[in-house]
Chains A and B, each alone.
Chain A
Amino acid sequence: KAGVTQTPRYLIKTRGQQVTLSCSPISGHRSVSWYQQTPGQGLQFLFEYFSETQRNKGNFPGRFSGRQFSNSRSEMNVSTLELGDSALYLCASGPLMAGGQDTQYFGPGTRLTVL
Chain B
Amino acid sequence: AQSVTQLDSQVPVFEEAPVELRCNYSSSVSVYLFWYVQYPNQGLQLLLKYLSGSTLVESINGFEAEFNKSQTSFHLRKPSVHISDTAEYFCAVRRNSGTYKYIFGTGTRLKVLA
Chain A residues within 8 Å of B, Cβ to Cβ: 4, 31, 33, 35, 42-43, 45, 48, 55-56, 58, 90, 92, 94, 98-109
CA A43 – CA B104 in complex, angstroms? 6
Quick one: which of B101, B103, B106 contacts A33, CB cutoff 8 A? B101
Quick check: B43 and A106 within 8 Å, CB to CB?
Answer: yes
Q: Shortest CB–CB separation between residue B23 and chain A, in angstroms? A: 14
Quick one: which of A99, A106, A107 contacts B94, CB cutoff 8 A? A99
B46 at the interface (CB under 8 A from A): yes
Quick one: which of B36, B49, B99, B106 contacts A55, CB cutoff 8 A? B99
Given A42-B107, A101-B32, residue A48 in contact with residue B100 (CB < 8 A)? yes
Q: Shortest CB–CB separation between residue B27 and chain A, in angstroms? A: 14
B44 at the interface (CB under 8 A from A): yes
| CB-CB nearest in chain B for A3 | B43
Residues on B with C-beta less than 8 A from A105 are 46
B51 at the interface (CB under 8 A from A): yes
B95 at the interface (CB under 8 A from A): yes
Quick check: B51 and A101 within 8 Å, CB to CB?
Answer: yes
Quick one: which of A43, A48, A102 contacts B90, CB cutoff 8 A? A43
Quick check: B90 and A92 within 8 Å, CB to CB?
Answer: no
Chain B residues within 8 Å of A, Cβ to Cβ: 32, 36, 41-46, 49, 51, 90, 94-107
16 A-B contacts (beta carbon < 8 Å): A4-B43, A33-B102, A43-B90, A45-B102, A45-B103, A48-B101, A55-B99, A98-B98, A99-B94, A100-B97, A101-B32, A102-B100, A103-B49, A104-B100, A104-B102, A105-B46
The 9 closest A-B pairs by CB, nearest first: A43-B104, A106-B43, A106-B44, A99-B97, A108-B43, A42-B106, A98-B99, A101-B51, A94-B100
Quick check: A99 and B98 within 8 Å, CB to CB?
Answer: yes
Given A99-B96, A101-B32, A101-B51, residue A56 in contact with residue B101 (CB < 8 A)? yes
CA A98 – CA B41 in complex, angstroms? 28
Residues on B with C-beta less than 8 A from A45 are 101-103
Residues on A with C-beta less than 8 A from B36 are 106
Quick check: A107 and B43 within 8 Å, CB to CB?
Answer: yes
